[in-house]
Structure 1
């Protein structure tokens, strides 16, 4: 082993690199980061709100825990969560949410892939098609926002997003399973 050490990247060299970038380079890097990890958009929005202040929002009538204005009441306290954004930045209204979680083409590919991996059968009864789209949309949302959680690890999806998915792919009887905690 050599006694000379090679200079490894350190926090100060990262800071130096970022400090030397032009505004245009910062914008290009930010665009690339958001394309690779769209969930970072919420971090950017939160930082913007903290720096510039967000107008106070009193919540939705009958849904006091909601800040985005698009949530509906949920059957359990655990499911009564909001995306935490102001009405102008609600997660369920973002273009990425629509593309990843409501676009039937993406969800159809996901379903076909999952059917091949898990050897699930084809759609059989009334409402099964929408149910499979809903479950695919929930999985897309979780992966988009949290990455791969692993088997048995689950997180609650904000009410505004759950209801956007349910509105797009409704159950014919109006019966929904709701959040099931992991093992």
Structure 2
């Protein structure tokens, strides 16, 4: 359509205009990985870097994440809508800077109180059980409780890499176990 019409009367009546005919075509990328088989997810993948997450750090926005063992675990706090909402409303770069996170997930005295509750509910600790591993487990549970308000068998959440990194730095050990799917999940 190279004709330029200067007046409405000059526009031909048989002009065949289709919706979106002047829009650029969509480019489909077949390399995109589905987030979960059910199509639902606790986080949004921004961009198409899902395949490269273990090879680079372009996926994190907060500046506190580290590359984790699996692609699934390589998620930033900005990718979880509930976490991102708390982070942005507090005007923080990373959820690990939030006072509630530091007080409830990194404070050994708070975790010690939760430890007693954990022992009553789960089982007594072995004398040889490394306390940092137990504190990490409790800290992860406290983070889930703070953000999602529920815990339970088969209700596991992948945590942001920055959260896992901060907890691991506070309660280090030689061995770490990454995220594992629940055997109770259907």
**TM-score normalised according to structure 1 size:** 0.61
Other-structure match for 1:133 = 135
In the alignment, structure 1 residue 75 sits paired with structure 2 residue 77: no
In the alignment, structure 1 residue 167 sits paired with structure 2 residue 169: yes
Other-structure match for 2:97 = 93
Other-structure match for 2:125 = 121
Other-structure match for 1:27 = none
1:1-183 mapped onto 2 (5 Å cutoff) = 62-84=56-78, 88-125=92-129, 128-171=130-173, 173=174, 175-182=175-182, 183=184
Give, in whole Å, the separation in 2 of the partners of 1:66 and 1:76.
15
**Number of residue equivalences:** 119
1:68 touches 1:82 (CA, 8 Å); kept in 2?
A: yes
Give, in whole Å, the separation in 1 of the partners of 2:148 and 2:113.
21
Give, in whole Å, the separation in 1 of the partners of 2:63 and 2:75.
12
- C-alpha displacement at 1:117, in angstroms? 2.0
Structure with greater helix share of residues: 1
The 4+ residue runs of structure 1 with deviation greater than 4 A are none
Structure 2 unmatched runs, 5+? 1-54, 79-83
Structure 1 unmatched runs, 5+? 1-60
User: Which moved further from structure 2: 143-152 or 86-95?
Assistant: 86-95
1:101 touches 1:107 (CA, 8 Å); kept in 2?
A: yes
Give, in whole Å, the separation in 1 of the partners of 2:123 and 2:157.
25
- C-alpha displacement at 1:119, in angstroms? 2.5
- C-alpha displacement at 1:122, in angstroms? 4.2
- C-alpha displacement at 1:139, in angstroms? 0.3
2:105 touches 2:140 (CA, 8 Å); kept in 1?
A: yes
2:141 touches 2:151 (CA, 8 Å); kept in 1?
A: no
Aligned-pair RMSD on alpha carbons? 1.9
- C-alpha displacement at 1:124, in angstroms? 1.3
* Rg larger for: 2
Give, in whole Å, the separation in 1 of the partners of 2:160 and 2:147.
11
**TM-score normalised according to structure 2 size:** 0.60
